Amino acid sequence: MNVENAELLESQELLEKPANLDRNDPEGEIARRGRAYRNWGRWGEDDVLGTLNFIDSAKRQQAASLVREGDVVSLSQPFDMNGPQKGWRRRTNPVHTMLDTGTDAERGTQGFPHGLGGADDVISMPLQCSTQWDGLGHIFDHGAAWNGRRAGDVVTSDGDLVTGIEHAAAAPVSRGVLLDLGRHLNPETGELPDGYAITAEDLQTCIEAQGGTSTVGRGDIVLVRTGQLTRARREGWGDYAGGPAPGLSLTTAGWLHRTQIAAIATDTWGFEVRPNEFDVPAFQPLHQVVIPNMGLTVGELWDLDALATKCAASGRYEFLLVAAPLPITRAVGSPINPVAIL
C-alpha cells in the first residue's frame, strides 16, 4: 500500500468514529463523506443504477439457492388511509375510492348485458407514503444529482429524465440479509429508543452475534430492523412519520460504501437517526451522502417484524429478496411490496 492510499484509508477510518463527528459542522461532515465515498463514474458516465450494479447474475443465482422451505413473507406496510402520514410536504396516506361496486351491480346501473356486474377502484397517493424505495433522483447534494449530473438537468417538472425509477424495475432481486438491531442491542424489548444512532460497530457486532448467515457483502440488500414500527403499532403512529427515530448514524457511510451492498432498507420513516446528530440545524445528512454521491438505493417504511420472528426462530438471516419497484416512468421513488422467500 502506497503512502497516499494509506493516508486515505486512515482518513476514512476516522470518519467512522462517532466521537470524531463535529456536531456543529454538518456542512463539513457531509462534504468529507461525500468526497470519501463518491462513486461517480464507477459504472460509466451514463449509469442510472448506482450500487444496484453490484447485483449480477451470479449473485441472483446465489440468492435463489437460499430458498429452502418456500415460505414467503411480505415486508410491506398496508397502503390505506390508516397509515402514518401527516401531510408533511404534501405527503398524505393513500385515498382509495370505488368506481364501481356490488351495489351498482345489484341495481343494474352499470350498463352491462346479461346480468354481468363488476367492481373497479382507484387509488391516489404520494409514491413514498408507505413501503417504498427512494430513487436516485430523490436527493441532491449542493445541486448535484447521482453521478455528478446537474440536479436541474435530471429532475424537472416532467419528472426524473435520467434516473427514473423505471430503470430499476428488474434490479432489486438479490440476497437479502436481516440485521435485527432491535433484538441485538435491546433483547428485552427488541426495540431501539428513538434518537438512537446505529454505528458501524453496532452493525458489525450484530452480524457476529447472528452468525454466518448474516455476513454482508457485495450485491446484498441489507434490511435493518430497529423495532420502531413494532412500537408504533402498539402505541399509535404518533410522530412515526418524520419525528424522532432510531436509525443509521452518519458515521456508517463508510461501512455502507466498503461493504459494496446494493441497497439498504429500514422499518423507519427516514432510514437514518432522527433527530440527526448535530447541535445545529441539519436534515437527513446521510441521505445527502449516500444517494447523490454513493448511488445507494434506500428503502423506508418496511415491515420487518414477521421476518425477524422467523429468522430468530430458525437462526437463518439470509433469503431471496424480491423488491421490484413499479416502473412508473420518470418517478423519483416507488411503492413496493417486497417479499422475502425463505
pTM of the model: 0.95
pLDDT at 188 over 80: yes
CATH H-level, domain 30-85+126-341: superfamily: Putative cyclase (3.50.30.50)
Tens of pLDDT, residue by residue over 103-143, are 999 999 999 999 999 999 999 999 999 999 999 999 999 99
Contacts within 8 Å (CB) and 24+ apart, 82-89 = 83/129, 83/130, 83/237, 83/241, 84/232, 84/237, 84/240, 84/241, 84/269, 84/301, 85/126, 85/129, 85/241, 86/241, 86/242, 88/241, 88/242
Flag whether pLDDT at 60 surpasses 90.
Answer: yes
Residue 13's pLDDT is what?
A: 78
Residue 64 in this model has a pLDDT that exceeds 90: yes
Average pLDDT over residues 300-321: 98
Contact assessment for residue 169 and residue 329, using Cβ atoms and an 8 Å cutoff: no
Tell me the percentage of the chain whose pLDDT exceeds 90: 94
Distances (CA, A) of 270 to 64, 128, 130, 255: 30, 11, 12, 18
Q: Is the pLDDT score of 29 beyond 60? A: yes
Mean pLDDT confidence for 279-287: 97
Question: Where does the chain hold its CATH 3.50.30.50 domain(s)?
Answer: 30-85+126-341
What pLDDT score does 297 carry?
A: 98
pLDDT band at 14 (very low <50, low <70, confident <90, very high): confident
Question: Can you spell out the DSSP letters for 41-60?
Answer: TTT-TT---GGGGG--HHHH
Provide, rounded to the nearest whole percent, the portion of the chain with pLDDT above 70. Answer: 97
Q: Of 196, 168, 192, 169, which Cα lies nearest the Cα of 182?
A: 192
**Mean pLDDT, residues 184-213:** 98
Q: What is the pLDDT of residues 152-179, one digit of tens each?
A: 999 999 999 999 999 999 999 999 999 9
pLDDT beyond 70 at 86: yes
Instruction: Please give the mean pLDDT across all residues of the chain.
Output: 96
Is pLDDT of 5 > 80? no
Q: Judge whether residue 1 has pLDDT over 70.
A: no
